[in-house]
Structure 1
């Protein structure tokens, strides 16, 4: 075990310490390389397999794991094929996307891939707006989902769903048109994104205030693993905290002071 930073059992223990339990529904932003050297892992697939195995050891067959497999395809004037278009969200997300048990949503910018009990429910019949009612994020919230972030803070793309639900003034809907593969052929489709004006530096996202507030209120749990950290917060607590804080500070989630 020389020159290793953690072992498999440490992963299981660290995930349990942040409150993950049997049957949980999880969404994970991840950077697993930052944890350091895993004992007996020789390839990137070894690392990814260990984390997936550890998660399902805890949540079991009735749990669900979701990862972002965002591609921003239409945003970048590219076609989208849910079976072939890679994710830009890191090694673990790509590993899950390619897994034989994974299901991926046919969403050209903000697709997700899921394994487990609610995978089919989460990927079916995607609306043209990724942060609208009946989007994946609302379904995740309705299942009392938790964010299990690996070397990220308490922030998540779910924030934009909350921002859309209260129609924050610094974001607006923008239309993107592209070709989406459906039934073996590419068809032209229109999808929306809830964007901000990139020329306005003050409107750039800043999630640090949220993370600090969530820690202070003990809504976020953390545990150390190797050289990194695991963070967990529920979607319900996330939504409630954002709505409460934005009432007092409309700039709670952006750079503007």
Structure 2
């Protein structure tokens, strides 16, 4: 078995990743949404494709054939006044996300229609997540909404400072007054090369008001609820967060203080 990484003069093997994921509490049948930042992990000792595939394989080995993997493949296409092609528009969310997205042509999985916040979903529950365009990016039935319904988990892989887009889903649920809906339009091309005009509303930050997410405040809320399971891995870490508890804690915090999630 080849080592994947060199970290602090130690070699990291696929079995080490599997062990860490199991230690985090991941188990057969889990539904996981993975946000990733890989460059801090260490020196990669195998090819790019082998490294990325090994990470995906490890997750599936731990969650099994009744598990589901989700990764954000956000493109922000309509925000940038560009059209969105479900097959060809690249993810802006890092190399693991982009590699995972291309699995549509290598054994299945679906990408959602959202031309701003799309996700790629592969596994047992992939057809339970709607791929169809909703009225807003994070309205009822969106990927994060379904993640809560299925008692899913959010994984921050290689970072504990990035990957808190779920917080914006919570803000939309709470109807915070420092954001507003703006409609964007463009053309979506589906997996069958069929194109259509479409529109979607995105909940944007208001200018000249407190609205920037404060990651440290968010982490503190999660920790207060014992919902920030962090384990060192290689040169960085992996974090596991229960999505349902995440939503409940944020809605409670926002009810108490409407600026609970933003920078002072």
Measured against the shorter chain, the TM-score band is over 0.9
In the other structure, the counterpart of 1:150 is 157
Show CA shifts across 1:196-215 (max 9, x none).
02x32621111211212322
Computed over aligned residues only, the root mean square deviation of the Cα atoms, in angstroms, reads 1.9
Q: Runs of 5+ in structure 2 lacking a partner?
A: none
Correspondence for 1:193: 202
User: Alignment partner for residue 205 of structure 1, among 192, 213, 234?
Assistant: 213
Q: Distance in 2 between matches of 1:166 and 1:188?
A: 30
2:255 aligned with 1:250, yes or no? no
Paired residues of 1:126 and 1:136 also in contact (CA < 8 A): no
SS at match of 2:129: helix
Give the distance between the partners of 1:7 and 1:247, measured in 2 at CA: 45
Deviations 1:128-181 (A, max 9, x none): 311111222211111111001112327522222221111111111110011111
> TM-score under structure 1 normalisation?
0.92
TM-score (norm 2): 0.90
**Contact 1:105-1:123 at 8 Å conserved across structures:** yes
Which structure 1 segments of 5+ residues have no match?
none
2:49 corresponds to which of 45, 48, 55:
45
One of 98, 116, 123 as aligned partner of 1:116:
123
SS in 2 for 1:164: helix
Aligned twin of 2:6 = 4
Could you tell me how far apart the structure 2 residues matched to 1:17 and 1:66 are? 20
Query: Which of residues 44, 49, 66 is equivalent to 2:70?
Result: 66
Q: Which stretch of the first structure deviates more once superposed, 80-89 or 173-182?
A: 173-182
Question: What's 2:239 paired with?
Answer: 231
Higher percent of residues as strand: 2
Q: Who is 2:19 aligned against?
A: 13
